[in-house]
Chains A and B, each alone.
Chain A
Amino acid sequence: MALPLTPARTGWPAFLGALRAPAVAIAITLAVAAALMINPIFSPPFTVVLGRTLFLAMVLLLTYAAARAWPVRWLPHWLAPVVAIAAAAPLATLAIYLMATGGDFGAILSMERLSGFVLITLCGLVFGVLVALGATAREREALARSQALQFELERSRFETEALDARLSLLQAQVEPHFLFNTLANVQALVENQSPHAADVLKSLIAYLRAAMPRLHDEQPTLGNELALVRAYLELMQMRMPDRLRFGIDVPAALNTRRFPPMALLTLVENAVRHGIDPAEDGGRIDVGAALRGNTLTLWVADDGVGMDPRAQPGTGLQNLRARLAAFFGSPATLQLDERSPRGLRAEIVIRT
């Protein structure tokens, strides 16, 4: 298990990274240009002038690289190289002149030498600072590009997840165990000529119709979803009348709201399967919704056995998160809370 290290942006690797061929080429080009520019007003031969500008260019390049590699806290990111170059240009030029005069400081102060010193320093300053600013801007651009790329990747990952969730919803089938058990109950009712048989069949048909894979659900609403949830809970209550009680409390005004199909049902099925069914004495499930301002909250609360922190989260919840995000965008969240004394409350919050 090893993550690839991205090129470090500080320290020695960064320092050496800044000294690559293109940077050196730019420094040399500018040094030659500066030498050509100031050569006519200089008395020393061109090669000497070129040597001095080249030396200065290399010192400034090293200074720039060092300033980027070991940033200081009290200077902004872009200013540090500029300050370093502004300081290095006169010092490096002074060093050149001290070498030329064999360390005779006084000789530099002669009129001719002094103007040369000032000229070279100015060249170094102007070119150095401009190049440093340019390089910083380019780096920033590259960073922005790579960030944009990363956002793009995130976005496509997000879209893929939503698509996967949709696909798995299409593939989602009625669990055979649920279907056959329910049919066995229907059989018992029919054979017994129970007056409930017709109602139960109606619930089963409503549930099956909603649970069948569909590609286009032209306008899925919360009202449709609640009808499905009710059909499912009624079926389960017929199967375990002594163990399951439920209540659905949603203001009628919310029924026309757009709502992703099976979203609430997933939570209700989870509450039955993981909360109520494993409990010998069962429990109660409450489904509700409330609109406060722009925030729509929907919840499924049970007082069943609750969640084992080591219980594998099913793909159901993960898919539901992706589906909610695809349907509403990021302002939709799903959270699970433990209830006291026991049970679980799942809550979908949508900011519209």
Chain B
Amino acid sequence: MNTTRASTALIADDEPLLREHLARHLARLWPELQIVAQARNGREAVELFDEHEPQIVFLDVHMPGLNGIEAARAIGRRAQIVFVTAYEQYALQAFEHGALDYLVKPFDDARLADTVQRLRKRTAPPHDMAADALSPVLDRLADELRLRTPPRSFLQWIKASVGNSVRLIPVTQVVYLRSDEKYTLVAWDGGEALIRKTIRELADELDPEHFVQVHRSVIVNLHHVAQVVRSLNETADVHLRGRSEVLPVSRSYLHLFRQM
């Protein structure tokens, strides 16, 4: 460091023991470095960064609320960022690729000393190569994190009031949904309940690979269909596995069950 001002840093990790551990080791390896703040999550990290504007930010990747990658995007090029992670193979590759600093938990003194060495040598962040490379790498990482969190496309749980509680029914257990004027009956392996969603809404939200609308007021889970029996007037009946109810298929939906 060739500036007169002492170097400052912020540590963000949701696990307090690990924050203190890193602070302790940094104090030993880099006594002049001032830890100006410690954050418990990504949101706090960004807030405390704005408040203290440290030159260096240690960010745990996995944090509640805003994660480390998202916090890094918010901080951008205003600081040198070192990611800290326990085991995120995909992230490590991206860090290597983007020439970003990172530490793998649990780390040893030698590894931390390397990082300190690099940080000391660097000049102000805006002229930094790593900072220029930051954005695209972080974008990709953020995408990957999103991919790792569940895809948000189709409804996976149906919420239904059962007695005093709101039951969460996995859609795989739902056998069929049938509506009357006001409510929709959901029948699943473990019972039946009324919900307020309409068949039209449900048809849009459920995965069409498994759920098909066979009638204006009926959606059936194909995995629970035992057989479809054609009857008069271009209609058919759906017989269910292990259940006695028979569901109607109206003319306009019969094409779904064309003989193979």
Contacts and interface: CB of A to CB of B under 8 A. Distances in A.
Interface of A: 1-6, 8-11, 13, 150, 154, 176-177, 179-181, 183-185, 187-189, 191-192, 238-243, 277-280, 307-313, 317-318, 333, 335-338, 344-345
B156 A311 contact: yes
Contacts of B105: 180-181, 183-184
B246 to A, nearest CB: 12
A150 B86 CA distance: 49
B260 A11 contact: no
A2 B256 contact: yes
B153 interface: yes
B17 A238 contact: yes
Interface stretch (B1-9, B137-145, B164-172, B175-183): B164-172
A259 to B, nearest CB: 21
Given A2-B257, A335-B190, 17 more contacts: A3-B225, A3-B228, A5-B230, A13-B230, A177-B86, A181-B15, A183-B105, A184-B21, A238-B17, A280-B43, A309-B159, A310-B150, A311-B156, A312-B150, A318-B170, A333-B190, A337-B166
Nearest to A182: B86
Contacts of A280: 40-41, 43, 64-65
B157 A11 contact: no
A313 B228 contact: no
A6 B18 contact: no
Q: Which 9 A-B pairs have the closest CB atoms?
A: A188-B21, A312-B150, A184-B106, A184-B105, A338-B166, A336-B168, A181-B86, A180-B86, A176-B87
B15 A185 contact: yes
A13 B225 CA distance: 21
Interface of B: 14-18, 20-21, 24, 40-41, 43, 62, 64-65, 86-88, 104-107, 150-159, 162, 165-168, 170, 172, 190, 209, 212, 222, 225-232, 236, 241-242, 256-260
Contact of B170 (A3, A317, A344): A317
